[in-house]
Amino acid sequence: MTSYRESAPCHRFCVAPMMDCTDRHDRAFLRQFSRHTLLYTEMLTSGALLHGDTERLLRFSPEEQPVALQLGGSEPGDLAAAARMAERAGYREVNLNLGCPSDRVQGGNFGACLMREPERVATCVSAMQSTVEIPVTVKCRIGVDDIDSDEDLLDFIGRLAQAGCRTFIIHARIAILKGLSPKQNREVPPLNYARVSRVKQAFPELEVVINGGIDSLDTAADLLREFDGVMLGREAYGNPFLLSKVDEIIFGEPAGTRTRLDYLDGFLPYVERELRQGTPLRHITRHMLGLFRGQPGGRRFRRHLSTHGNRREAPLEVLLDAMSHVA
């Protein structure tokens, strides 16, 4: 793909990178609802990009833009090489994952455990920055295990800022690496927006994006009075129609009038194209199950897709029939 040299992406409203969720089909689907939301890939490891099926891993559709790639890794040279691949593929940004608490990620010495090694992270950021022209950003927690103070976080941010990072996406919970699952780490440690606020106060020149516990656009708009951007995760995935108001509420565009079915109609050409290329229907429709959440016929829509859409050769008609339950 041709390398992009476009303006840096806007972080005012972002959808978080989520494993097993924000694949290319989900991003193409979410793009139907908002032109301006910045979308992120699932985390890809530098090792997978260097030694795996690079073309498949980096594949995305032009209509997904703006889209950023999240990397996991801890070796500066490998991360720099992976960042170059991302830039050549056309991604608008490379984001370094410093927040994932899973055992598998810890075993690879990346994710949240790297917050214990600020000098190593700074070296990684510097190596990536020197290699690519697109922005290199960081997504981290407010702390990890016993490293849990304002001073620790401010020191960490300061070191990465000196290495050249200008944008920090901060999940406002600490990561507890032993004893909590990744799901529990999204829910059990208490939110501490005040600590993220102190980062912005200490580094007003940096772009600070807040993440964690944001479940409505009203909450997002309130937080934007203090922070440069907001990032939603599970709520955006489980309730994609929420994004239909983002361009109006967050970016000041005129209100839209399209219904849930209108958005789904607009997505059908993508689905048809992917089916012709051999993509199983279920790989696409699994991301649609929350579209009619709380709506009449929504349960029948989900049941129809779950019952009839899982066959390897399921045709487009399965989706069209599901849509008839909510028409």
298 touches 270 (CB < 8 A): no
How many Cα atoms within 13 Å fall on the side-chain side of residue 297? 11
Please give the full DSSP string across 83-110, using - where no structure is assigned. HHHHHHHT-S-EEEEE----HHHHHTT-
191 touches 212 (CB < 8 A): yes
Among residues 14, 100, 124, 140, which one is catalytic?
Answer: 100
CA distances from 309 to 239, 302, 323 (A): 20, 10, 13
Is 165 assigned a catalytic role? Answer: no
Please give the full DSSP string across 246-259, using - where no structure is assigned. HHHHTT-PPPP---
Taking phi first (over 0 means left), then psi (-120 to 50 degrees means alpha), and beta for anything else, what does residue 4 get? beta
What is the set of active-site residues? 100
